[in-house]
Chains A and B, each alone.
Chain A
Amino acid sequence: MKIKENIIESLKLIFFYTCICIFLCFCSSVLYMVYTLCQNLVAGQTLSFDFNLFMEGFLLFSPVVFIFGSMLMTFFFIRHPCHYILPLICYCVLYAVSWIFIIPAISKVSTTSYETYIEAKTKDMPSSGYFRRNKDKIVYYSYVNEADNSVAGLCIDSNLAENNVYTFSSLKLSHKKTAFTDSLIQNSIDMPPAIAITAQKLLELSLVLRKCASQSFGSTHSFFYWLCFASMGLALLGVIGLRHFSEWRLVNMLFVAMATLGIIVGNTLGYVNPVMVGIEKSFNDVFAKIGIFKPLCTVGNPFIIFCNIFIFIILLVLFFAFEKNSRNLEDL
């Protein structure tokens, strides 16, 4: 009986994980495609599905989705609490497979073959016939010549009380400073700051992954380099330890999410932030002196690896502590 329930729970987990990963990968690719299209869109143009951008979005953001896999699966466990062993083993295996096979596979593929679309189609020219308001100046282009970048039209200075309409022709547009070609579309699509920061951080994470993957699977380093990077995955694996943190499931969810974010942010900063890199260098120099860790130093960043392993051990201890606690509570 117990075995049957074990298997059922494990199957549910696998099914859930597959579905949610596919769904999130698809959503993030579509979002990326729509947003990038809108950046080059001008008023009057219609949106259409662009396969190249979709693939580019997929290649950029699906590794990030898989990194969050442990958090998603832990949410599943919080929702469907059980104390069986097999689902836990499934959890570890699924996540390990993601880190060792899936993420590298996707990150290896270069995006250059899909990026060519953007260069060719980049238009810096907004369309004619629309009024565009820029704070207190209103601009209207009566014609826009794409061949030589020239425009004609009028500009209204709403601050002045009279003589405030200037007409012009044969002026050229300089290259767009903001990412959006058309300010009309920017006003409606532009991300609020909270979301813009989140999106930027996710993109940074994705680029760090790609850089590491290309270095691991290129000629410079070996698979061992990737495994060292994957120590982050090991730490993330441990977040399941927080699943029985409190009696209130919502609190558990919160803490799991915070732990995941903390580990990811810590790792990313460790690779990217100059202050952290400085600190790591001094530690690594110390490690290099100790003979055993020499091969490690040449390949990876031992400081981060040790931090991740340390976090994993703490979470493992917490896991056993909370499991026992919750089992006791259930038996009561």
Chain B
Amino acid sequence: MKKVIIILVIYTFLIFLCCLGETYIYRYVPELVPECVSSYRFYRGLSWFLALLPSILISGFCIACSIQWKRNATDSRHRFSPAMIDRYRFVIIASLIFVFILSFSAEICKPVVNRKLSAFENGPLELQNDLKTAETFLTEEKYDLSYIYARRAVAVAPKNAEALSMLKRTKDALEIYNERSRHDDSFVTVDEEEMPLYSQDHSYSVKELIARARAAYEAEEWFDAHYWATLAQEACKGIDTNLDVAHDIADKAWNILRSPSRYESSEMNLIYAKKQKGYIALNAGDYLQAYYIFLELQKTVIGTDPDVERFFALAKEGMENQYFFIDETQNMDLLSNGHNVYFSLKNPDGSKSAYYVKSLMDSKESGKSVRYLKNLTIVKYDRNGNFINCVNAPIAKVISQTTTVFDEDSKKILGIEKNWKTVPYLMMLAVDRNTQGLVSRPSYRYAETGLPLEILEEEELIGLAVDASKIPPAEESSGYAPNTAILPMPYSDFASINMASEAASSMSIFSLMNFIPNAVEYGFSAEVFRESLLSRVMYPLFVLILFVCAASAGWNYRIESKSPHFKTVWLFIILLFGLVMYLIVEIAFYMFNIVNYVLVGTFNQAALVAAAVVYVVIFILASFYFMSRKA
């Protein structure tokens, strides 16, 4: 046993040294940031070693077994002898250790090493981009943004002189700017053109508002009374007498509102309770909930209730024009954790939308998960695949919205399934916290852009090319198109979809399992993801089978000599054998891939179970074969 381990360890270590040696000797290195070159070489050698590791361990194990079992073969003259079963136990224990090492290397080490390598390779380009952007922002006097980019440049290339000098310049500029102007934490203003009702209501003078409030109070229209009184309070801005009056009316109306209703029929009570709930939501600024409550009320109330109509219109305005602040996304570039994310969704009316996000950043806001998107593009196609329109928002915010606010009908209209707990709520309108009129809003295209020549050639398409510089700019939204939307997908899927765009191998196994049933709807190939899942889950079992087979081969082809010495010439044989084994192991893994693909193609949903059955049967056969060996 000891000899086996020693041989294996020496063998593995030798190959590791070979890999390292080779990577330093091998001249070619891609364009890199200068101080990263030696780390790049090291990681490259490491990645070669990790790729070779399975074949090294399997061939080493085979050889070690065949050397180890040179003696005492006579105790296995019959099949299934106890000595053979003892050997089997040893094989299983050793194999399990190796399987653990290999699984660890495949699931954890390889992705990390590959990510580091690609980060190194992207280094120079990123450094260039960051320095350029920092310079641009410096000239535009956006000092905080330029500082962020300078920091990024230094993170990529810590010793680069240019990056360090840029960092110093931007830091100094930022300090000077901060000292010069103290930020004014004044109130936010919003672009009021798109909210006609809201702006109209806010344009009355204090006197008018109080008059309206009083009139409503006398007419026992408590909702209206409270509404106008609240507006009056806001309009007062601290001028005393009118404020007290307004406050008084508001309070009284509110108390009467909040008290339980006293209608005769329970139906009327229900409606009143709903109205209460809706108004409270509207007052609190929860436009979404208010909108859906009043929508439902509109359907159930017989005749027209002016309250419901007015509050519904207000809620709708508020919801469609919900905004967030531009500076919530200020650290987006530094903190973004997803790039080039794409997926498609089927809309409840049969059309299809394709979504693309340049980069995204996750955050938390009052306990809820929030995601900021940069450069969001949504392309809408009808059910036949014809282009309808294309929306582009420079920045967007998505919050997870619980589905309890929607009633059955609304859920059907929005395409929300019963079992979804939260859905993404998209906001594309953003305003600057301090400057009025500085608004970021989505822009629309109603005609296709066409493809420029390079892309036409690259994608092997034939047709009329378009000059990229001559594509007309998109029109800014004019208030007729909504700036918010509910995405018809559960928020949990939305949270994990950025990983699907990277690669199936970057998703964790659990998120992969949740993602696969809907993969096709999101525009990804279910077979590819299922096959990836199958390969990763079955990998340990398959490697175990390979080790048992290697042990059988080691026994079958063990050394027959009577002399106990190990000839030194055999050491060279080990290396040669390792090479041959590499080819065999590569073929075995490729067959593993193909078999998984066939299983996925044949069994679809049940592929995982079928694969488990198949591989367990093969393992039992292999073990059986090993235990039936005899001298």
Within the assembled complex, what's the spacing in Å between the Cα atoms of A329 and B560?
Answer: 10
Instruction: Report which residue of A168, A194, A329 has the largest number of chain B beta carbons within 10 angstroms of its beta carbon.
Output: A168
Interface membership of A248, Cβ < 8 A: yes
Interface membership of B451, Cβ < 8 A: yes
Interface membership of A147, Cβ < 8 A: no
Interface magnitude class on chain B: 35 or more
Interface membership of B334, Cβ < 8 A: no
Residues 240-269 of A contacting B (Cβ, < 8 Å)? 247-254, 257
Q: Of A103-111, A138-146, A212-220, A306-314, which binds chain B?
A: A138-146
Within the assembled complex, what's the spacing in Å between the Cα atoms of A290 and B471?
Answer: 79
Within the assembled complex, what's the spacing in Å between the Cα atoms of A79 and B375?
Answer: 66
Interface string of B174-210 (1 = CB under 8 A from A): 0000000000000000000000000000000000000
Q: Is there contact, CB below 8 Å, between A128 and B458? A: no
Question: In this complex, what residue of B is CB-closest to A332?
Answer: B562
Which residues in A have their C-beta under 8 angstroms from that of B450?
166-168
Interface membership of B531, Cβ < 8 A: yes
Interface membership of B222, Cβ < 8 A: no
Q: Is there contact, CB below 8 Å, between A198 and B384? A: no
Interface membership of B385, Cβ < 8 A: yes
Instruction: Report which residue of A47, A129, A143, A184 has the largest number of chain B beta carbons within 10 angstroms of its beta carbon.
Output: A129
Residues 589-610 of B contacting A (Cβ, < 8 Å)? 590-591, 593-594, 597-598, 601-602, 604
Question: In this complex, what residue of B is CB-closest to A249?
Answer: B557
Checking A161, A172, A176 against B375 with a beta-carbon cut-off of 8 angstroms, the contacting residue is A161
Residues 143-176 of A contacting B (Cβ, < 8 Å)? 143, 151-158, 161-174, 176
Q: Is there contact, CB below 8 Å, between B448 and A251? A: no
Interface membership of A291, Cβ < 8 A: no
Interface membership of A117, Cβ < 8 A: no
Which residues in A have their C-beta under 8 angstroms from that of B562?
329, 332
Q: Is there contact, CB below 8 Å, between A152 and B390? A: no
Instruction: Report which residue of B339, B354, B525, B602 has the largest number of chain A beta carbons within 10 angstroms of its beta carbon.
Output: B525
Interface membership of A328, Cβ < 8 A: no
Interface membership of B558, Cβ < 8 A: yes
Which residues in B have their C-beta under 8 angstroms from that of A167?
379, 387, 390, 445, 448-450
Within the assembled complex, what's the spacing in Å between the Cα atoms of A150 and B356?
Answer: 24
Q: Is there contact, CB below 8 Å, between A38 and B375? A: no
Chain B min CB distance to A254 (Å): 6
A172 and B461 in contact, given A34-B598, A156-B342, A165-B392 (Cβ under 8 angstroms):
yes
Q: Is the interface of B mostly helix, strand, loop or mixed?
A: mixed
Within the assembled complex, what's the spacing in Å between the Cα atoms of A134 and B458?
Answer: 9
Interface membership of B66, Cβ < 8 A: yes
Within the assembled complex, what's the spacing in Å between the Cα atoms of A121 and B104?
Answer: 43
Which residues in B have their C-beta under 8 angstroms from that of A252?
557
Chain A min CB distance to B350 (Å): 13
Q: Is there contact, CB below 8 Å, between B384 and A156? A: no
Q: Is there contact, CB below 8 Å, between B375 and A254? A: no
Interface membership of B31, Cβ < 8 A: no
Question: In this complex, what residue of A is CB-closest to B559?
Answer: A248
Chain B min CB distance to A74 (Å): 12
Question: In this complex, what residue of A is CB-closest to B558?
Answer: A249
Interface membership of A195, Cβ < 8 A: yes
Q: Is there contact, CB below 8 Å, between B528 and A154? A: no
Q: Of B314-322, B323-331, B569-577, which binds chain A?
A: B569-577
Q: Is there contact, CB below 8 Å, between A248 and B570? A: yes
Chain B min CB distance to A142 (Å): 4
A142 and B462 in contact, given A131-B344, A164-B358, A166-B455 (Cβ under 8 angstroms):
no
A143 and B385 in contact, given A46-B601, A78-B557, A155-B455 (Cβ under 8 angstroms):
yes
Q: Is there contact, CB below 8 Å, between B525 and A192? A: no
Interface membership of A130, Cβ < 8 A: yes
Q: Is there contact, CB below 8 Å, between A184 and B449? A: no
Q: Is there contact, CB below 8 Å, between B598 and A47? A: yes
Which residues in A have their C-beta under 8 angstroms from that of B365?
none
A154 and B461 in contact, given A143-B384, A195-B587, A249-B560 (Cβ under 8 angstroms):
no
Within the assembled complex, what's the spacing in Å between the Cα atoms of A137 and B356?
Answer: 12
Chain B min CB distance to A31 (Å): 7
Q: Is there contact, CB below 8 Å, between B576 and A171? A: no
Within the assembled complex, what's the spacing in Å between the Cα atoms of A31 and B597?
Answer: 12
A142 and B561 in contact, given A173-B461, A194-B583 (Cβ under 8 angstroms):
no
Interface membership of B619, Cβ < 8 A: no
Which residues in A have their C-beta under 8 angstroms from that of B452?
166
A139 and B459 in contact, given A130-B524, A198-B583 (Cβ under 8 angstroms):
yes
Chain B min CB distance to A294 (Å): 44
Which residues in A have their C-beta under 8 angstroms from that of B582?
194
Q: Is there contact, CB below 8 Å, between A155 and B459? A: yes
Q: Is there contact, CB below 8 Å, between B461 and A174? A: yes
Q: Is there contact, CB below 8 Å, between A47 and B601? A: yes
Interface membership of B23, Cβ < 8 A: no
Residues 38-78 of A contacting B (Cβ, < 8 Å)? 38, 43-44, 46-47, 78
Chain A min CB distance to B27 (Å): 21
Interface membership of A177, Cβ < 8 A: yes
A-B contact count (CB 8 A): 195
Chain B min CB distance to A123 (Å): 15
Q: Is there contact, CB below 8 Å, between A168 and B557? A: no
Q: Is there contact, CB below 8 Å, between A165 and B594? A: no
Chain B min CB distance to A177 (Å): 7
Question: In this complex, what residue of A is CB-closest to B66?
Answer: A250
Checking B62, B356, B528 against A165 with a beta-carbon cut-off of 8 angstroms, the contacting residue is B356
Q: Is there contact, CB below 8 Å, between A43 and B385? A: no
A192 and B451 in contact, given A129-B344, A154-B354, A187-B528 (Cβ under 8 angstroms):
no
Interface membership of B264, Cβ < 8 A: no
A188 and B576 in contact, given A129-B523, A142-B381, A157-B455 (Cβ under 8 angstroms):
no
Within the assembled complex, what's the spacing in Å between the Cα atoms of A158 and B450?
Answer: 17
A184 and B525 in contact, given A46-B601, A156-B356 (Cβ under 8 angstroms):
yes
Instruction: Report which residue of B385, B449, B573 has the largest number of chain A beta carbons within 10 angstroms of its beta carbon.
Output: B385
Q: Is there contact, CB below 8 Å, between A169 and B461? A: no
Which residues in B have their C-beta under 8 angstroms from that of A208?
none
Interface membership of A203, Cβ < 8 A: no
Chain B min CB distance to A160 (Å): 9
Interface string of B154-168 (1 = CB under 8 A from A): 000000000000000
Question: In this complex, what residue of B is CB-closest to A195?
Answer: B590
Checking B387, B451, B527 against A43 with a beta-carbon cut-off of 8 angstroms, the contacting residue is B527
A137 and B455 in contact, given A47-B598, A165-B356, A173-B462 (Cβ under 8 angstroms):
yes
Interface string of A275-290 (1 = CB under 8 A from B): 0000000000000000
Q: Is there contact, CB below 8 Å, between B597 and A189? A: yes
Which residues in B have their C-beta under 8 angstroms from that of A137?
455, 458-459
Question: In this complex, what residue of B is CB-closest to A168?
Answer: B451
Q: Is there contact, CB below 8 Å, between B449 and A168? A: yes
Interface residues of B (CB under 8 A from A): 62-63, 66, 339-340, 342-344, 352, 354, 356, 358, 375, 377, 379, 381, 384-387, 390, 392, 394, 445, 448-452, 455-456, 458-463, 471, 501, 520, 523-525, 527-528, 531-532, 554, 556-562, 570, 573, 576-577, 580, 582-583, 586-587, 590-591, 593-594, 597-598, 601-602, 604
The 10 residue pairs across chains A and B that have the minimum distance between CB atoms: A143-B385, A47-B601, A247-B561, A171-B463, A249-B557, A142-B385, A43-B525, A167-B448, A172-B462, A250-B557
A/B interface sample: 19 pairs, CB < 8 A: A130-B524, A131-B524, A140-B523, A141-B385, A142-B354, A152-B386, A155-B459, A156-B342, A157-B455, A158-B339, A164-B358, A167-B449, A171-B456, A171-B461, A172-B463, A173-B462, A185-B527, A189-B593, A253-B557
User: With A47-B602, A171-B456 given, can you name 7 additional A-B contacts, CB distance below 8 Å?
Assistant: A137-B455, A152-B386, A165-B390, A172-B463, A176-B460, A192-B590, A248-B557
